[in-house]
Amino acid sequence: MDVNLLRLHVKMLLEAIVVCVLIILITTAYFHKSCWYCQLQYYYIGLVYHLHDIFNIKNNKINLVSMPDKIAIVTGGSRGIGVEVVKKLLQCDMEVIVACRTPSAGEKIISEIRKSGITNGRAKIYKIDNSSFDSVRQFAEQIKRNYNKIHILINNAAIMFPSVYQKTEDGYEEQWAINYLSHFLLTSLLLPLLKNGGHPNDCSRIINVTSCAHDVGKIDFDYISNNSKKTFCTYSSYGQSKLAQTMSTITMQRLFANMSLNVLVYSVHPGIVKTDLFKETILGNKKWAMAAWKTSDQGATSIIYAAINKDIEKKGGIFISNCIELTVPLLAHDERVQKRLFELSLEQVQLKDFFQYL
């Protein structure tokens, strides 16, 4: 081949490579700016965990044993996975406190559960609005007046991917406030009752219903502190709230162990479940795309496993999906970030000390 022609081909190839790289960089930058980059991350991680659900379906099971002396609280208990969690706890003959924003919705759900043939257990409906710290405090005060112990607290209430930026009445982005901060506050407020319910060989349990989204989450302290609408990305905000739940699970378990409290904390990913949490996504109206996903009943199974299984009695702080322990992102184990997040969380929910109510 002619040398000059070879040089021309090499030059054209290099120019083509440069153009391709530029296209990739520009496209990535555009995606990142418009949240499409985050969406791509979610599609990838969703596929990975969907495959995990498929290959581990045989592990996703739990025996519902009778526990008539147990009292459990389920936030977000009137919709989605929460309904199935309530149903299974009632089947265990527990007293179940359905904590929900609209009590009439909770009453309707309990009526439907009873009509389905489940007659055991006792159900009580209490109002809580996880978007309001005042409501969380009022709920906790009601529970403290009516109960002297709680055995299981399931922090389940959540929102996912709201299409527009909104702040709660306390001034925080709503996913951060509802998914994470409200449950951080509630756990602290109810800690005396959880302490009373725990014993050395039968600890009280806190279950933080988190998500595989923690794998793509980051803790952006500037954003959390400033809550700027200009930097809002609904996808990264959701992942951040779920990573914070997973991280606080590890932190709380270490603190409880240091204080010799008979309280265990677990984080649980229910799986890729077809619920109305996806209503704000492009999959919201495409039921065919969710056909192979878990049902709410299947999603509730790992949560119940974390709440009652005896094999994990001495393994607090772990992350569970499909009733097996999974690893968490490396960032979740970073004690420097854990400490900073914990201190900021105390400040944001206006607590001087997480254990101030003990």
Which residue carries 């996703």 as its tokens?
60
Q: What share of the chain has pLDDT > 70, as a percent? A: 83
The sign of the CA dihedral 234, 73, 295, 215 is: positive
Q: What share of the chain has pLDDT > 90, as a percent? A: 73
What is the secondary structure of 28-71 as a DSSP string? HHHHHHHTHHHHHHHHHHHHHHHHHHHHTTTT--------TT-E
Annotated catalytic, 126?
Answer: no
Q: Is the predicted pLDDT of residue 329 greater than 90, yes or no?
A: yes
Cα 58 to its chain centre, rounded Å, is 23
Q: Share the mean pLDDT of the chain.
A: 88
Which residues 6+ apart lie within 8 Å of 242 measured at CB? 179, 180, 210, 211, 213, 214, 217
Q: What is the pLDDT of residues 166-176, one digit of tens each?
A: 999 999 999 99
Give φ, ψ of 184 to 5 degrees: -60, -45
pLDDT, residue 34, reads 52
Which residues 6+ apart lie within 8 Å of 20 measured at CB? none
pLDDT, residue 223, reads 86
pLDDT, residue 350, reads 97
50 Ramachandran zone, left/alpha/beta (phi>0; psi -120 to 50): alpha
Helix orientation angle between 36-55 and 234-258, rounded to the nearest 10 degrees: 60
Amino acid at 318: I
Following CA atoms 82, 85, 87, 91 in sequence, which dihedral angle do they give, to the nearest 10 degrees?
Answer: -170
Give φ, ψ of 210 to 5 degrees: -105, -145
Neighbours of 66 (CB within 10 A): 12
Which residues 6+ apart lie within 8 Å of 340 measured at CB? 221
Which among 126, 238, 266, 305 is annotated as catalytic?
238
Contact predicate 341/244, CB 8 Å:
yes
Q: What is the pLDDT of residues 62-78, one digit of tens each?
A: 999 999 999 999 999 99
pLDDT, residue 96, reads 98
Mean pLDDT over residues 338-345, rounded?
97
Six-digit token string for 195 = 């302490």
Mean pLDDT over residues 19-45, rounded?
59
Q: What is the pLDDT of residues 103-147, one digit of tens each?
A: 999 999 999 999 999 999 999 999 999 999 999 999 999 999 999
